[in-house]
Amino acid sequence: MHIEPGVVDGAKMALAYGTAAAAAGYSFKLAAEDLKQHSVPSFILRAVMATVGTFVFFEVLPHFAVGVSEVHFILGTTLFLLLGPAAAAFGLVFGLLMQGTFFAPSDMPMFFVNMTTLLFPLFAVHALAKRVVPQATAYVDLDYTQVLKMSAVYQGGVVAWVAFWAIYGQGVGAENIQSVLAFGGAYLLVILIEPIADLAVLAGAKALRGTQGSGIFTNRLHDAA
């Protein structure tokens, strides 16, 4: 989902700075809420785990250029379910920063654009989870339909933001629209794969109920709200 350098530039980057600042502010709000239920060491540990996971998603898992951007298997809902929204948000940002700094410095001019693209869909998943997951249900007990809805919201949000940035930066020319559609079509593969990965991870987490309260995972993973 990396927006390529030059897609958004010049004065238009001001919007990216604003959206990234808003995303950062909401991430800190989530962190404050997280710390009401978890210790500081737990939050730091989960944020580090999310950072490593994000880096793996970008650099280790298969990724390929399609249309206006690159398709990555960014398992945002997996990070959310295991580690909580705040740790996932910080991990996505620091993982993106680490990947760009050490492996893809040419992407750094688009850091705030890509940060926005990663975080706002995560916030949407957080809002959706409050609606589709009953308070009496721990995340390890989610079914396929619930997980699919979250995955579709996250990955669909990524596609929507990529499309927005591409059109905002380059207009509605036929070639640009074709590139956007090619990217969106390729991303359907991720939408199909992520729920399966999420259910597999949750099945494994269910077998780790002994870690409950250890701070390694978000409390909601094993405990109902």
Joined together, the tokens standing for residue 31 give: 């962190």
pTM for this structure?
A: 0.93
Confidence of residue 213 (pLDDT cuts 50, 70, 90): low
Q: Which domain holds residue 30?
A: 10-213
CATH number for the domain spanning 73: value is 1.10.1760.20
Rounded to a whole number of angstroms, the CA Rg of the chain reads 17
Rounded CA gap, 42 and 65, in Å? Answer: 36
Place of tokens 């958004």: 8
Query: 109 by DSSP, 3-state: which?
Result: helix
> Is 186 a domain residue?
yes
Indicate the number of domains in the chain.
Answer: 1
Span of 41-50, 65-74, 93-102 with lowest mean pLDDT: 65-74
Rounded CA gap, 222 and 88, in Å? Answer: 17
How many CB atoms sit inside 10 A of residue 56's CB?
A: 14
> Is 175 a domain residue?
yes
> Is 178 a domain residue?
yes
> Is 134 a domain residue?
yes
> Is 100 a domain residue?
yes
> Is 224 a domain residue?
no
Q: Where are the beta strands (DSSP E) in the chain?
A: 63-66, 69-72
End-to-end CA distance of the chain: 33
Bigger pLDDT: 143 vs 225:
143
Place of tokens 């060491």: 41
> Is 5 a domain residue?
no
> Is 207 a domain residue?
yes
